[in-house]
Amino acid sequence: MQIKKIRLSSLRNEEWFQFFTEFKTLIEEQPLENMSITEQYPKFLSLYGDADNTLEQIRKSQYTAEIARADVERDTTFSGFRDIVKGMQSHFDPAKRKAAANLMIVFSQYGNISKKSYSEETASIHNFLQEMRNKFASDIETLGLQEWVDMLDQNNQEFSSLMLQRNEETSQKTSLRMKDLRTEIENCYVEMIKCMEAVTILQSDHTLTEIINKLNANLTRYSNTLAQRQGKAAAQKGQLIDAIASKPSQTKK
């Protein structure tokens, strides 16, 4: 009885770890002797524990709390800036009322940026600040709100810096430790699969049939996930190619 194959290297870290968690649960349903993996399984368990700890460290990155704090700070600055401009629409000075009205149009265009993802909000604030420093610089000067522009810029840069540091930390941990662990565990898995398949050839009571059926069902499920992801990526690539192809060419005059 054959066990299905899958490109484990194509699974994302969390998916990959979940696959081996399910594999571990299945293996523990039978005595190791029945599968002839008494030598390989202890090594697998040790590597599995290392992978669990490494992923947990990544999840609990020291930058996570700092990033959340920095995000709240820039949200607070942005909303405070907006509230002041909104109030200045009722200023007794017509010039200030006009300037405030101009800026509120921009605030309305950007909407509630705190609802956006981290990366989308960072980009939105950057674009917003560009408008404040260029097209609407005179309105900012009229209202005396340059310090709000500068503070929002400072908040956004701090957030971007923390995200970069976390990404570098996470990337380093993933590429150095998880890459090695994944290779070792996958090699150990292949060895155990070979042992199990060898047992099925020799056995007469089919003791491993149920476990292998369950394992194959899991392998099919993960293979479908990879296929769907690949199909989606191919479709998006096709749409991009079609969009480029259908774009009318422009001839310089």
CB contact at 8 A, 217 and 25:
no
Residue 178 located in a structural domain: no
CA 18-11-201 angle, to 5 degrees, is 75
In a domain, residue 158? The reply is yes
In a domain, 108, yes or no: yes
What local confidence, expressed as pLDDT, does residue 235 receive? 59
Rounded distance between C-alpha atoms, residue 240 and residue 227, angstroms: 20
Contact present, 90 and 137 (Cβ < 8 Å): no
Rounded to an integer, what distance in angstroms lies between the CA atom of residue 206 and that of residue 219? 20
pLDDT 10s digits, 217-229: 999 999 999 998 8
In this structure, of 15-29, 78-92, 156-170, 235-249, the range with the lowest mean pLDDT score is 235-249
Task: State the average pLDDT over residues 41-54.
Answer: 94
In tens, the pLDDT along 99-137 reads: 999 999 999 999 999 888 888 999 999 999 999 999 999
The domain of 154 spans: 63-166
pLDDT number for residue 229: 87
Q: Please report whether residue 123 resides in a domain.
A: yes
Please state whether the predicted TM-score (pTM) of the whole model is above 0.85.
no
Within-domain flag for 172: no
What is the token pair recorded at 178? 């998880």
Contact at 8 Å (CB) between 66 and 162? yes
* Residue 14 to residue 175: CA distance in whole angstroms: 14
Nearest-angstrom CA–CA distance, 162 and 156: 10
Report the C-alpha gap between 50 and 178 in whole angstroms.
Answer: 9
Closest among 199, 200, 119 to 160, alpha carbons compared: 119
Residue 68 lies in a domain: yes
Distance CA 215, CA 199 (A): 15
Banded model confidence at residue 171, pLDDT cuts 50, 70, 90 = low
pLDDT tens digits along 49-96: 999 988 877 666 667 888 999 999 999 999 999 999 999 999 999 999
How many domains are contained in the chain? 1
Residue 37 falls inside a structural domain: no
Q: Does a structural domain hold residue 80?
A: yes
Instruction: Please determine, for residue 241, whether its predicted confidence score (pLDDT) is greater than 80.
Output: no
